[in-house]
Amino acid sequence: MLPRVDVGDDVRRTDGLLDAPWTLHVIGDASGTHELLGFDGTTVRVAVDGDSARAVGSQPIAGTVVRHGR
């Protein structure tokens, strides 16, 4: 699973990404719970279930998962 963030010309450092939602790109089967590190340095628990995801933590994520291969 790879989190991706759209970065505009206005972003100069990671502080500019604190409220930017992640889009999760999943290769293969990544269903289950994963821990990722948010841009604010805190842990984000991400639960992937099929093509949807939800997170617990301070980092916003998109609810839809982009799948690449299965």
pLDDT tens for each residue of 14-32: 888 888 888 889 888 888 9
Q: What is the mean pLDDT of the chain?
A: 86
Q: DSSP for 14-48?
A: GGGGTTPPEEEEEES---EEEEEE-TTS-EEEEEE
Which position has the higher pLDDT, 70 or 60? 60
Q: Given pLDDT bands bounded at 50, 70 and 90, which one contains residue 35? A: very high
Please report the pLDDT score of residue 45 as a whole number: 93
Give me the residues paired with residue 10 across strands: none
Q: Where are the domains of the chain?
A: 2-68
Q: Given pLDDT bands bounded at 50, 70 and 90, which one contains residue 70? A: low
